[in-house]
A = this chain, B = another copy of it.
Amino acid sequence: MKTAIECIPCFFRQAIEAADLIGARDREKKAILDRVAQAVPEFPLSATPPEMGQRIHAIVREVAGSDDPYASLKRESHKQAMAVYGRCRDTIKRSRDALRTAVELAIAGNIIDFGARSFFDVGEEIEKILRREKREIKKEDGGCFQYGFFMEQLSSAHNILYLADNVGETVFDRLLIELISARYPRKQICYAVRGFPVLNDAVAMDACNAGIDAYARIISNGYDAPGTILEKSSPAFRRLFRSADLIISKGQGNFESLSGRKRPRIFFLFMVKCKVVARQLNCEEGAIMLTSNRGTDQDCAG
């Protein structure tokens, strides 16, 4: 998706939140915002929001004087997600439609995002979402939650590329990948992470920590945007992207950067975290999405 005009104030808000997370003082925050401001005139609305996200977080890291200022927050997210892993696994095992529950949990894991929301207790939020899912998600199977279409595409795909998002969320990705791998042992699964730390997004080590390397090949996309900017990604990643039969894309950042692409088939699993995306998808902020690039031109009411 292109950048909306309302994204511009939001870039500054995100920069302040990122600066808050590293404990920056007002003087450092102003230095960050001044540099974000300098980047705005060079940034066309035809670019996707994560392209600016990449700039913002590069500035924050530079002012923070650290390549990975969110390292301790990421450790905390991982810890909180691991604390609920066993219970989530049991929930999946006991459920009538295990794959569906695993998909729902993988989306629920997308609440672990410092980009659009502040830090909070993961277990509690997961509980809430599981309860809400029982009530709401199950009844709607339209553009917002294309589970039937996902199942169909998943069963026929050979090469699956799974695009990671945040640390902690990785643990929920593992639950889904574990299940896909058990159910379809001959499918090739690649789990793609960011090339370098950006905000709380997962890099290769985080995927290994979540135990995903036992079920999927982990690859880096070679870039540090909080999304997937194909043109800036490594040639190896781009080849993998183009040759995949099915892409499972996690998080709003990956949606923002890839939603315009017609091929290959992409399913976007994420929580809607801002008004601009909600408007584009004709849904509410906070909505839980399983939508494909077949359906992104349609709205969620369908």
Contacts and interface: CB of A to CB of B under 8 A. Distances in A.
A33 interface: yes
A40 interface: yes
A302 interface: no
A297 interface: no
A37 B26 contact: no
Interface stretch (A8-16, A75-83, A218-226): A8-16
Contacts of A38: 37-38, 41
A6 interface: yes
| Dominant secondary structure at the A interface | helix
Given A37-B37, A37-B38, A26 B45 contact: yes
Nearest to A9: B12
A5 to B, nearest CB: 5
Interface in A28-47: 29-30, 33-34, 37-38, 40-41, 45
Contact of A5 (B8, B9, B16): B16
A173 B166 CA distance: 54
Contact of A37 (B6, B13, B40): B40
Nearest to A28: B5
Contacts of A8: 12, 16, 33, 37
Contact of A34 (B6, B13, B16, B41): B41
Contacts of A5: 16, 26, 29-30, 33
A30 B26 CA distance: 27
A40 B11 CA distance: 14
A116 to B, nearest CB: 14
In the complex, which of the residues A16, A30, A34, A37 has the most CB atoms of chain B within 10 Å of its own CB atom? A37
A33 B37 CA distance: 9
A261 to B, nearest CB: 23
Nearest to A39: B37
A272 to B, nearest CB: 20
Contacts of A45: 26, 30
A212 to B, nearest CB: 36
A9 B14 CA distance: 9
A-B residue pairs, 4 tightest by C-beta: A37-B40, A9-B12, A34-B41, A37-B37
Interface of A: 5-6, 8-10, 12-13, 16, 26, 29-30, 33-34, 37-38, 40-41, 45
17 contacts: A5-B29, A5-B30, A6-B16, A8-B12, A8-B16, A8-B33, A9-B12, A9-B13, A12-B12, A26-B45, A33-B40, A34-B40, A34-B41, A37-B38, A37-B40, A37-B41, A38-B41
Given A5-B33, A9-B16, 8 more contacts: A5-B16, A5-B26, A8-B12, A12-B12, A30-B45, A34-B41, A37-B41, A38-B41
